[in-house]
Structure 1
Amino acid sequence: MKDVFEYTNYRQYIADYYAEKKAASSFTWREFAKVAGFSSSVYLKYVSEGRFSLSEDAVERVAKAMDLVGVRFDYFAEMVRLDHAKTDKAKKEVFGRMLAIADQNKAKILEGDSFRFFENWKNPVIRELAPAMPGAKPLALAHACRPKISAAEVSESLNFLVKADLLQKDESGNYKQTQKSVTTGPMGVTPVAVRGLHRQMGEIALDAIEGVQQNERHFSGVTVGITQNAYDEIVAEIAAFRRKVIEIATREDATDEVYRLNVQFFPMTNKNGNKKG
């Protein structure tokens, strides 16, 4: 059985625990539920499938039934709270506690580095900027950033990027990217950080309207009325366009400046309000 620290979804952990026990013996959901103190033989099965949610009162019983004690119980309990969290802010707070528990016990959450990378705009910018400025110290990198950040913030980001194997540092102190681009992938918690990153980048974009010369930035937009079929087709075109931008940007190894492209396509009306009686 994989360590509980390799999970961010408690339902998946319960499902995998059951599958492993079932493969090794005649273990049943009824037996699992009985050990955890539930009268319903299918309760935990339904929890693992997402039909029911595990209550706070039941967490300790289920964790004990799976032999999770100490910090592993604490981590499992936070996973349940993560599932219960309703807002991005609440999810980030819970996941931060999960990361802290794992860090204190020298364990690695597989999704942790991805979450940390997308949590703050400084990380993707420094990842692009550092290789473009060979030999530059954190202070010089900080001065090159827009908006301005401190040398300490740059150092913190660089240390994280190297530790997460997103940058490599050679003996001369120069940085090199380990891969051309970083994507979110099919992860559970990372989209919470990505939404936060979009908010940060949106605020920076607003400042760029007045703070960046017109010949160094491009803003345009269009307001259209569409159907659901048109929406799906437009989204597919946006995805293809993003892939083309990445292809152009990564065609050369050299970098003169770091840019951010925000592609925003969102409703300005409510569907129900558009329907005529």
Structure 2
Amino acid sequence: MARFFIFIIMQPVTEYKDYREYLLDYYRERKRSSAFTWREFAKLAGFASGAHLKLVCDGKMRLREEGAKKTAQAMNLSAFEQEYFVLMVRYERAKTDLEKKKCFEEMQALCEANRVKILGSELYSYYETWKHSVVRELAVAMPGAKPSEIAKACKPPISAADVSESLYFLVKSGLLTRDIKGNYHQTNQSLSSGRMNVVAVAVHSLLRQMGEFALEALDKLPISERNFSGITMGVSAEGYAKIVEELAQCRKRIVSIVTEDKNVEKVCRLNMQLFPLTENICKGTSVRGPKIN
């Protein structure tokens, strides 16, 4: 029996972090150029149900690792691309940040071994440690400063070697530039983690670190150098959504203040936290007003 190969022109699989998104793009491209169906796609991948991959793309089912291997083969991916696709599936199935972190690092190593750039790796590394964000601010605020001087300005203090390593990474990643006088400049004043799930894992790590620093500041810094407050409150789902939006707008206003402030005297961290302290309460239960603490 003759075997026919269909060549698909689309973005490389390494430019994806969500395997469902890649599957859907692959299907749409095949559909655009032929009478391709979900049933045919599922059959090529060896699934008994003709709707299996459609349900996967709709988020109603998940691929298992064995199914991911068969699906990657059905899409005629190279050996390296098949391994990357399986890692995307493994990443999505990971239950903890630690498992996701390990999986993404495997994706990075695989791409580096095959001399392929993985999108989002710079921001992942940036958010993985608090040092990069602080050094990025201090390098600009302290023109001409040596790594040892920047290191001493950090709280907690870090080594000059850590600063040098961070500066190298920031310049290499395009998050800082260096002029002919040796002074550093930010390519963008503010950074966003965007919607990339892999970056979110690193952001979780950064938030934990900053949360620990906040506890230390509560114990070690005088009130004049810190501002801590909180509200314990009962809210509805609608009220919760409104508060989240208000926090987002507040954060944007603060970014505008910082952007206009050119006289940097110190680097600060602002944490915004909103989380439940109880399970959902049955409808009809009375809820008291907010408590300031």
Normalized against structure 2, the TM-score is what? 0.88
2:5 equivalent in structure 1: none
1:222 to 231, 235, 238: 231
Q: Give structure 2 stretches of 5+ with no counterpart.
A: 1-9, 286-293
The 1:134/1:268 distance shift into structure 2, 3 A limit, reads same
2:62 to 53, 62, 79: 53
- SS of residue paired to 1:168: strand
1:71 to 52, 55, 80: 80
| More moved, 5-14 vs 231-240 | 231-240
| Amino acid paired to 1:189 | V
- Distance of 1:107 and 1:173 partners within structure 2: 31
1:178 to 187, 198, 203: 187
- SS of residue paired to 1:250: helix
2:4 equivalent in structure 1: none
Any idea what the Cα deviations from partners look like across 1:18-46, whole Å, max 9, x if unmatched?
A: 11122122222222222222232221222
| More moved, 218-227 vs 75-84 | 218-227
The equivalences for 1:98-117 within 5 A come to: 98-117=107-126
- Distance of 1:227 and 1:154 partners within structure 2: 46
- SS of residue paired to 2:197: coil
The answer as to whether partners of 2:138 and 2:150 remain within 8 angstroms in 1 is yes
- Distance of 2:261 and 2:39 partners within structure 1: 60
1:209 to 212, 218, 226: 218
Structure 1 residue 255 displacement after superposition = 1.4
2:157 equivalent in structure 1: 148
The answer as to whether partners of 2:72 and 2:82 remain within 8 angstroms in 1 is yes
**Deviation >6 Å, runs of 4+:** none
- Distance of 2:236 and 2:73 partners within structure 1: 51
- Distance of 2:43 and 2:276 partners within structure 1: 49
- Distance of 1:74 and 1:138 partners within structure 2: 40
1:14 equivalent in structure 2: 23
1:42 to 51, 54, 65: 51
1:134 equivalent in structure 2: 143
Structure 1 residue 95 displacement after superposition = 0.9
- Distance of 2:64 and 2:249 partners within structure 1: 43
Normalized against structure 1, the TM-score is what? 0.92
Q: What is the CA RMSD across the aligned residues, in angstroms? A: 2.0
- Distance of 2:254 and 2:191 partners within structure 1: 14
- SS of residue paired to 1:176: strand
Structure 1 residue 132 displacement after superposition = 0.7
- Distance of 1:102 and 1:259 partners within structure 2: 36
Structure 1 residue 257 displacement after superposition = 0.9
The answer as to whether partners of 2:42 and 2:53 remain within 8 angstroms in 1 is yes
- Distance of 1:72 and 1:151 partners within structure 2: 40
